[in-house]
Structure formats: structure tokens, C-alpha cells
């Protein structure tokens, strides 16, 4: 249990609490706009950036972040090119990211790269720079959502109505992609690139089961995200498990419980 | 009451053309809509009705020609809160977690009001719009739980919350039973006759459009037919308070329904 009092665990807990707010918040916009796979795509591209960072000796999370932002612009561009097949853009960029990452990791075989930590998350490797990155990203995301929540609601609910209201739809689409890229890059050290999209999408899936309003959805995703991240990190710390996997399994457990409770309530009424 | 004598151009299409996958959808389309006109747009599937609406509101760019809104080219148009928009019923996700109140309030979120918080006055406007559409009891319901007719009332309330000068309706009665369609159309006609609102409505219901706008289209272009009621065919005075007038209409319709019900019983 003394692990919970250690410096590295405290760092992971603070980082986790911040990610537990931002990732589900961004996820709700992606899920409601049927773009859940964007999280997976950006995280896979981000891993390619991390690999390059190791290869050239630059802070890997920053390079991953840069890659994810560039990929978010490409996704928007491809979405416009393949309007009727928007999911194609996601498939193309995701496989491109994995291909790039695998080549760079092969090239960097000689560098003692802790690939597993980035793929599945690790509470041991989070340093002060990572924590500052997460804090800055959280601040940016919270300011953007706090000031633009009503516009983002309209855009998510009815993009045409948002355009007819004169809202800069293209700007908001890019903004959502870029903010998602920031959150993913900041999260991969804790949750892992292969699992980060679950932290974006499963809280939103839970909110669809219980929330009756958009306001309730926003509150629900944050509560569920926090619950899973904090409990997941503690369980992972005590039993020495991969934090990303533990958090994701907890999220799935919460979702199943909510589904069962809702079903029980329906049968009871 | 106010006098409405000035009939400015609300929508102007000058030689507008648009193609999709090398097939001409609109070719050299010229048309103008004046203040308080009612335009009913009819056409078969693929005739380009929705494409035309999307061009008018700036969602699509014409290949050539110019579209003006309130005298300004669409690309330079800024007064978006003068336009109310009612989408097709099937244009939103029925599982979306949003209450009726949240949807109606979203009619106030425009480019001109970025960074602005919802005020008490906005909440009052929302209450009025909900009341006018007779959906105040549904305010906290999830939008996906409502019937098609109720959902259309919600979207109409959202479009009216800003007191628009131009109301654009994209097949608003698709998938709604005929009685509800009739009530909806009655309300639209009332708004047109008593308020300073210009209407552009895409519809598949030829009978309803012809019954109000006449048997012959004003303009035909390809597979599209534009039926039109000119502003000069209407009385020259309009009421300012839309919500008050719709409330009166609602009372009239309710009392008429009561009379019919009592008649049925006797």
C-alpha cells in the first residue's frame, strides 16, 4: 500500500485526475457526432510521433502531440474529399500512423525504448514535464469548452442549423479535432495509446444510457471518467497491473452495471 | 400593429448553376423572393430542392451565379439571426441526449452571440416560444422521446425564438400523420398572414402547397416548381408579437376542437 504515497504514484494520480476530466469531455462530442474512431486514429498517429521523438532525442510526448495535430488536419481534409465515406479518412490515417510507428520503432531498435509504457500506459514513467504538459492541455480544453459549450452543443446536435446560424462550422470541426489530439497525446503515458480512445468513448456511452439532457451528459462523463481513472490507478498501483487496461476494464464494468440497472428499472416499472 | 409597405428583396438568385458529379442539378436559375412572400418548392427526389436550400443558406457554393440574402451576397451575409431554419425531421440522432428546452434555446446561438452567456431574457424568449408552440409541458423531455409532430413543433419553436424575418423549412411534415400536418400547416399560414415573415418551404405535399399558393407554379426550372403567394395578396398590417398571436391561434384551435368533440358526442 505504500506505493500510493510514493512520488511517482502521486504524479500519476494528479495526471489521471486531469485526464479523467478532459478525455471524456472531448469524447462526448466525438461519440455524439459518430466520430468515435477519431480517438483511435489520433492515438496511433501519436505513437508514431513518440517513436520519432525517441529516434531523434526530442521530448516524445511533444512530437506525438505535433503528429496528432497534423493528423487531425488531414482527417478534416480527407473527410471533405470522401464526404459520403467519412470513415475512410479515419481508416487511412490510422493505418498510416501504425505503419509509420512500426518502421520508426524498428529503426530505433538500438535505443532502449520503453514501447510497452506508451502502448499500454505506465504510472512509473510519468515525470514533471509530462505533468506540466497534461496541466496545460487540461487548461486549454477547459477554457475552450467552458466558453464555447453552447455553440459546440448546436454543432453536435445539428451541424446544418449551426451553419445557418452563421457559426464558423469549419473552425469548430478543426477545434474539436485539435483539442482531441492534445488530450490523446497528453494521456498516452498514463492510459496507453492503444487504450486511450476507451477513455474518450466509454464514459460517453455510459451517459447515453442515463443522461436525459446535454448538461447531464457533460456532468455524467466527467464523474464516470474520474471514478474509473482514480480507482483504476489505485488498483493498478497496489496490484502492479497496467493502468490503462485496469481503467478501461473498470469503465466497461461501470457501463455494464448501468445497462443492468436501467434494464432492471424498466422491468420493475 | 405596424404598416408594412416596403417589400425588399429577401432572396435573389441570379443565373445560379450547380452540378453534382458532372450532372447539372440547377442551370441558370433566376428567382427572387420579396418580403412576406411565401414560396413553396416542389420537386421529385433528386430535383435539387435540398441542394438549392443549402446554397441559399451558404452551406453549398453555386458553380456560377450569385445568391443574395437581404440584398447581400451570401458569402458576405452576417445577419444570420434574421433566419429561422426548420430541418427535415430525420436530420438528427434520436438518441441524442438533449431536452426540448436545450434544443429551443439553441436557436439563439449565432455568430453574433459568441462568448455570450444565456441571460434571463433568453430564458423568457424560450418560455414564450415553448408556450406559443404548445410544448411547454414537454420542455424537460428528451427530444428523441417525442412524436414526429411534437419534434417539428420543437424545431419551429427553435426557429421562431429569434423573431426571424425569413423562415426556411425543409420538408417539415415528412413522416407526420395527416391531422398533425394539417395543424402544422394551419399555423404556418397564420404566421404568414399576420406577421412580417417571409417563407421558403420545401414540401412533397403538392395538395397542401397548391391549396394555399394556387394551382399554377410561378416559376418552373428543370424538375423544380416554385409556387408563390405574393406579399401584395396579404393584408397590409402585421402584428408584432408573434408569441401572443400564436397563443391566440392555439386557443382558437383548442376551442374549435372542443366544439367538434361536443358535436361528436351529441
Higher pLDDT, B146 or A81: B146
Interface mutation target, options B70, B109, B160, chain A, most CBs of A under 10 Å: B109
Residues of A in contact with B142 (CB under 8 A): 212-213
Percentage of chain B exceeding pLDDT 90 = 24
- B87-110 residue pLDDT tens: 876 667 778 999 999 999 999 987
Q: Which pLDDT does position B256 carry in this prediction?
A: 62
Inform me whether the pLDDT recorded for B125 exceeds 80.
yes
Distance from CA of A156 to the nearest CA of B (A): 9
Farthest CA pair distance, chain B: 64
E runs forming strands in A49-130: none
Inform me whether the pLDDT recorded for B111 exceeds 50.
yes
Interface mutation target, options A143, A154, A215, chain B, most CBs of B under 10 Å: A154
Residue of A nearest to B142 (CA): A212
Q: Hey, how many other C-beta atoms are within 10 angstroms of the C-beta on A57?
A: 8
Q: Which pLDDT does position B47 carry in this prediction?
A: 81
Percentage of chain B exceeding pLDDT 70 = 82
Are B212 and B50 spatial neighbours (Cβ–Cβ below 8 Å)?
Answer: no
Residue of A nearest to B155 (CA): A161
Q: Which pLDDT does position B68 carry in this prediction?
A: 94
Q: Which of A212-226, B16-30, B142-156 has the lowest mean pLDDT?
A: B16-30
Tell me if chain B has a CB within 8 Å of the CB of A146. no
Q: Which pLDDT does position B1 carry in this prediction?
A: 41
Q: Hey, how many other C-beta atoms are within 10 angstroms of the C-beta on A191?
A: 33
Q: Which pLDDT does position A156 carry in this prediction?
A: 92
Contact A166 B57 (CB under 8 A): no
pLDDT confidence bin for B236, thresholds 50/70/90: low
Provide ipTM, 2 decimals.
0.84
Inform me whether the pLDDT recorded for B263 exceeds 60.
no
- B209-222 residue pLDDT tens: 888 888 888 888 77
Q: Which pLDDT does position A227 carry in this prediction?
A: 96
Pairing type for strands B237-238 and B2-3 reads: antiparallel
The three grid cell numbers given for residue B151, joined into one nine-digit string:
419534434
Q: Which pLDDT does position A164 carry in this prediction?
A: 86
Pairing type for strands B166-170 and B219-221 reads: unpaired
Query: Cell match 412572400: residue?
Result: B37
Q: Which pLDDT does position A84 carry in this prediction?
A: 66
Segments of chain A scoring below 50 in pLDDT: none
Q: Which pLDDT does position B239 carry in this prediction?
A: 63
Q: Which pLDDT does position A4 carry in this prediction?
A: 75
pLDDT confidence bin for B266, thresholds 50/70/90: very low
Contact B118 A213 (CB under 8 A): no
Higher pLDDT, B242 or A125: A125
Tell me if chain B has a CB within 8 Å of the CB of A163. yes
Contact A213 B98 (CB under 8 A): yes
Distance from CA of A219 to the nearest CA of B (A): 12
Nearest alpha-carbon partner for A24 in A153, A159, A207, A236: A207
Residue B23: exposed, middle, or buried by beta-carbon count in 10 A (0-12, 13-18, 19+)?
exposed
Q: Which pLDDT does position B90 carry in this prediction?
A: 64
Residue of A nearest to B139 (CA): A213
Q: What is the DSSP string of A5-55?
A: GSHHHHHHHHHHHHHHHHHHHHHHHHHHTT-THHHHHHHHHHHHHHHHHHH
Contact A161 B80 (CB under 8 A): no
Residue A142: exposed, middle, or buried by beta-carbon count in 10 A (0-12, 13-18, 19+)?
middle
Q: What distance in Å separates the CA atoms of residue A162 and residue A152, rounded to the nearest whole number?
A: 9
Q: Which pLDDT does position B2 carry in this prediction?
A: 43
Q: How far is CA B79 from the centre of its chain?
A: 17
- CATH for A2-263 is 1.10.3470.10
Q: What would the mean pLDDT of B183-189 be, rounded to a whole number?
A: 83
Q: Which of A125-134, B91-100, B149-158, B256-265 has the lowest mean pLDDT?
A: B256-265
Are B58 and B76 spatial neighbours (Cβ–Cβ below 8 Å)?
Answer: no
Tell me if chain B has a CB within 8 Å of the CB of A153. yes
Tell me if chain B has a CB within 8 Å of the CB of A80. no
Are B20 and B51 spatial neighbours (Cβ–Cβ below 8 Å)?
Answer: yes
Segment 209-238 of chain B within 8 Å of chain A by CB = none
Using alpha carbons, list the distances in angstroms from residue B212 to A20, A53, A70, B147, B188: 57, 68, 54, 26, 11
Residue of A nearest to B108 (CA): A165
Q: What distance in Å separates the CA atoms of residue B189 and residue B195, rounded to the nearest whole number?
A: 10
SS3 content of chain A, % helix, strand, coil (to 5): 85, 0, 15
Pick from A158, A168, A207: CB nearest B87: A158
Q: Which pLDDT does position B78 carry in this prediction?
A: 86
Q: Residue B182 contacts by C-beta under 8 Å, 6 or more apart in sequence?
A: B208
Contact A32 B93 (CB under 8 A): yes
Q: Which of B54-63, B84-93, B233-242 has the lowest mean pLDDT?
A: B233-242
What domains sit in chain B, N to C, each tagged with a CATH number?
Answer: 2-265 (3.40.50.300)
Q: Which pLDDT does position B179 carry in this prediction?
A: 76
Tell me if chain A has a CB within 8 Å of the CB of B110. yes
Nearest alpha-carbon partner for B161 in B78, B248, B81: B81
Pairing type for strands B198-202 and B166-170 reads: parallel
Nearest alpha-carbon partner for A185 in A134, A239, A123, A113: A134
Cα-Cα-Cα-Cα torsion A184, A189, A191, A192, nearest 10 degrees, comes to: 80
Q: For chain B, how far is it from start to end, CA to CA, in angstroms?
A: 41
Tell me if chain A has a CB within 8 Å of the CB of B20. no
Inform me whether the pLDDT recorded for B259 exceeds 60.
no
Residues of A in contact with B105 (CB under 8 A): 150
Contact A215 B58 (CB under 8 A): no
Q: Which pLDDT does position A195 carry in this prediction?
A: 83
Residues of B in contact with A212 (CB under 8 A): 97, 99, 140, 142
Pick from A32, A166, A214: CB nearest B102: A214
Q: What distance in Å separates the CA atoms of residue B224 and residue B30, rounded to the nearest whole number?
A: 12
Tell me if chain A has a CB within 8 Å of the CB of B142. yes
Amino acid at each position: 500500500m505504500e506505493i500510493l504515497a510514493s512520488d511517482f504514484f502521486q504524479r500519476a494520480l494528479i495526471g489521471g485526475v486531469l485526464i479523467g476530466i478532459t478525455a471524456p469531455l472531448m469524447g462526448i462530442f466525438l461519440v455524439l457526432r459518430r466520430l468515435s474512431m477519431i480517438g483511435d486514429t489520433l492515438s496511433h498517429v501519436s505513437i508514431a510521433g513518440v517513436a520519432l521523438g525517441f529516434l531523434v532525442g526530442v521530448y516524445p510526448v511533444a512530437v506525438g502531440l505535433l503528429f496528432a495535430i497534423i493528423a487531425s488536419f488531414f482527417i478534416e481534409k480527407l473527410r471533405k474529399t470522401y464526404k459520403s465515406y467519412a470513415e475512410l479518412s479515419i481508416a487511412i490515417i490510422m493505418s498510416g500512423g501504425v505503419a509509420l510507428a512500426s518502421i520508426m520503432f524498428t529503426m530505433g531498435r538500438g535505443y532502449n525504448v520503453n514501447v510497452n509504457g506508451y502502448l499500454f500506459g505506465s504510472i512509473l514513467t510519468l515525470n514533471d514535464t509530462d505533468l506540466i504538459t497534461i496541466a496545460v492541455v487540461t487548461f486549454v480544453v477547459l477554457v475552450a469548452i467552458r466558453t464555447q459549450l453552447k455553440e459546440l452543443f448546436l454543432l453536435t446536435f445539428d451541424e446544418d442549423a449551426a451553419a445557418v446560424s452563421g457559426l464558423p462550422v469549419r473552425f469548430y470541426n478543426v477545434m474539436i479535432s485539435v483539442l482531441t489530439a492534445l488530450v490523446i497525446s497528453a494521456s498516452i503515458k498514463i492510459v496507453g495509446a492503444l487504450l486511450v480512445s476507451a477513455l474518450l468513448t466509454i464514459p460517453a456511452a455510459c451517459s447515453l444510457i442515463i443522461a436525459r439532457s446535454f448538461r447531464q451528459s457533460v456532468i455524467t462523463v466527467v464523474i464516470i471518467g474520474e471514478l474509473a481513472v482514480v480507482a483504476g490507478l489505485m488498483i493498478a498501483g497496489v496490484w502492479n497491473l497496467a493502468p490503462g487496461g485496469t481503467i478501461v476494464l473498470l469503465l466497461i464494468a461501470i457501463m455494464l452495471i448501468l445497462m443492468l440497472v436501467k434494464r432492471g428499472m424498466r422491468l420493475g416499472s | 400593429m405596424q404598416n408594412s409597405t416596403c417589400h425588399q428583396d429577401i432572396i435573389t438568385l441570379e443565373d445560379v448553376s450547380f452540378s453534382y458529379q458532372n450532372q447539372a442539378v440547377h442551370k441558370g436559375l433566376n428567382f427572387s423572393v420579396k418580403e412576406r412572400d411565401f414560396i413553396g418548392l416542389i420537386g421529385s427526389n433528386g430535383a435539387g430542392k435540398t441542394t438549392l436550400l443549402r446554397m441559399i443558406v451558404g452551406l453549398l457554393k453555386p458553380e456560377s451565379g450569385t445568391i443574395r440574402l437581404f440584398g447581400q451576397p451570401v458569402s458576405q451575409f452576417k445577419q444570420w439571426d434574421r433566419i429561422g431554419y426548420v430541418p427535415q425531421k430525420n436530420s438528427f440522432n434520436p438518441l441524442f441526449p438533449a431536452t426540448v428546452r436545450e434544443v429551443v434555446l439553441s436557436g439563439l446561438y449565432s455568430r453574433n452571440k459568441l462568448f455570450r452567456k444565456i441571460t434571463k431574457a433568453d430564458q423568457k424568449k424560450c418560455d414564450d416560444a415553448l408556450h406559443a408552440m404548445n410544448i411547454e409541458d414537454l420542455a424537460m423531455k428528451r427530444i428523441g422521446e417525442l412524436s414526429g409532430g411534437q419534434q417539428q413543433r420543437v424545431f419551429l419553436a427553435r426557429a421562431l425564438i429569434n423573431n426571424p424575418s425569413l423562415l426556411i423549412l425543409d420538408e417539415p411534415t415528412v413522416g407526420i400523420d395527416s391531422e398533425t400536418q394539417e395543424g402544422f400547416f394551419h399555423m404556418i399560414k397564420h404566421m404568414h398572414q399576420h406577421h412580417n415573415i417571409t417563407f421558403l418551404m420545401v414540401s412533397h405535399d403538392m395538395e397542401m402547397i397548391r391549396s394555399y399558393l394556387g394551382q399554377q407554379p410561378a416559376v418552373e426550372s428543370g424538375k423544380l416548381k416554385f409556387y408563390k403567394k405574393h406579399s401584395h395578396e396579404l393584408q397590409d398590417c402585421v402584428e408584432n408579437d408573434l408569441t401572443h398571436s400564436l397563443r391566440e391561434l392555439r386557443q382558437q384551435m383548442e376551442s374549435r376542437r372542443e366544439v367538434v368533440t361536443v358535436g361528436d358526442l351529441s
